[in-house]
Structure 1
Amino acid sequence: MSTVPGHVLTDPAWVAARIDAMSRAWGTDVPRVAGTLWWCMAASTLVEQIAVAYAAGTPAPVAALGDFDCVVRPDGGVEHAQFHRVPVDATGRSVRSDVGGETGAAAADEVAAALRDTLTAVISQVAAVSGAGVPALWAVVSDAIGNRALDAGSPDAAVRLAADVGPRLPTPRFVTVEGRAFVRRASCCLVYEAPGREMCTSCPKRLPAERTELLAAAARCRY
């Protein structure tokens, strides 16, 4: 593992090297596939702590490029983000982004604006390096937020966070199968295009009936 400052996520040479490492790890020579896989992991890392904070009603970290470091695996994947600050009020106390009033609104605005700016900057680099489409990469973020909020027990938190980030981010969607909630995905990670891999259970490219059947089996396995 290595630790790098968040701003390297907008360095095209650094991003290209990480996507190349991901290509080797997954055995694919298609940059679009490796880039999408890399972004699925990186996006989930960037939004996880913010989505969990929205779900829990605790102060959310600021994801400005200068306010976090990334822990990177040998295969190029971003394993973890180490955020350095959360919004504070005039007394220096950390502020929840889901409380009412001007202070809470300002905290939500700061968190959302920082995340929006970081996502916009990094997505543009991933798209340029890999050839993946910008809307497809934003859809990956939507699904990542949905999954992390769902893991935290609050699908509503995903919808609130996406709304705060802004219109480029599709609203996370959910579906309940056999009593269990799943993200109704807007994105495809393209893993099935890598050698020896199959579509994910919830892949939006599956036939709807097939996807529902697989999700039902996954829901039953949970209990």
Structure 2
Amino acid sequence: MIADPGWLREQVLLRGRSWPTTDRHVLATLWWFSASHHLVTPTVTTLLLTGTAASPALPDLVLHHCSDGTITGAHSTAVLGTDLDTVAAGLRAASELVIDIVSELTSHGVRPLWALAADSLADRLLLVGEATGRRAEARALAARLSAGIGAPMLLPRFIDVMTVHGRSRCFVQRVSCCLLYRVPGQQLCTTCPRRSRADRLRLLATAAGPDQEPDGWGPDAFSI
């Protein structure tokens, strides 16, 4: 379904049921912000945890989505393999297909959408790496896959922050903006690159509890 331009456009416009805006560019960006996380999760999670990647090919992916266009998850029905170059090529092919369709609904081309994809891949791997005690391996895999995908995919950036709870936390240093702040009643996310570096560090240090993600950039934010 996700490779069907008509279906995808309908899903993007359905997001207007949840967000009080009719700006198609904003709705498309918000949809891709969420979708880009879920589309890579089956592949990068299985690769990190087992060494064998589930297929990222769109015909092999099943999206879990609601009637308002909200995506709640995804799973793959096929196995791709262990070769990192093959996995990177598969991720690129899947991302390109969706990004090309979504970009028709936005006003700024594909690069901002690729930036969202870069942050999503890094975040998914970091989340699993943190949960399983494999942070360094997750960060290295994010860098390897991003390099294999190639431009306009950006390399992941991470930042370690000492929180007010006295614990060092690793976060993705985002290169993308989901445009949530352009929805009436919303504001910039905690880790939005539109904020100054000092502002982001201050908010991360105070907003992230010892066992939770900061508001605006965590698992609950992906279903938007």
TM-score, normalisation: structure 2? 0.83
Matched, 1:116 2:92: yes
1:129 matched residue in structure 2: 105
8 Å contact 2:88–2:149 — kept in the other structure?
yes
The residue identity in structure 2 corresponding to 1:196 is G
In the aligned structure 2, how far is the partner of 1:69 from the partner of 1:47?
12
In the aligned structure 2, how far is the partner of 1:32 from the partner of 1:54?
33
Matched, 1:156 2:160: no
Provide structure 1 residue ranges, at least 5 long, that are not aligned to the other structure: 1-7, 88-94, 98-106
Q: 1:70 aligns with which of 45, 55, 63?
A: 63
Q: 2:196 aligns with which of 182, 207, 214?
A: 207
Moved over 3 A (4+): none
- Deviation digits for residues 152-191 of structure 1, max 9, x if unmatched? 1222221122122222210110011101111000000111
In the aligned structure 1, how far is the partner of 2:10 from the partner of 2:159?
37
SS at match of 2:201: helix
TM-score, normalisation: structure 1? 0.83
1:169 matched residue in structure 2: 153
Q: Which moved more, 1:45-54 or 1:176-185?
A: 45-54
2:74 matched residue in structure 1: 81
Matched, 1:181 2:174: no
RMSD: 1.6
Matched, 1:217 2:206: yes
2:181 matched residue in structure 1: 192
Q: CA deviation at 1:67?
A: 1.6
In the aligned structure 2, how far is the partner of 1:116 from the partner of 1:214?
33
Going by fraction, where is helix more abundant, 1 or 2? 1
Q: Which moved more, 1:52-61 or 1:118-127?
A: 52-61
8 Å contact 1:35–1:132 — kept in the other structure?
no
1:104 matched residue in structure 2: none
Q: CA deviation at 1:57?
A: 4.2
Q: CA deviation at 1:132?
A: 4.3
Identity percentage over the alignment? 36
Q: 2:123 aligns with which of 147, 160, 179?
A: 147
Provide structure 2 residue ranges, at least 5 long, that are not aligned to the other structure: 130-137, 163-167, 212-224
Q: CA deviation at 1:203?
A: 0.5
2:19 matched residue in structure 1: 26
Aligned length: 198
In the aligned structure 2, how far is the partner of 1:60 from the partner of 1:159?
16
In the aligned structure 1, how far is the partner of 2:159 from the partner of 2:34?
23
Matched, 1:16 2:16: no
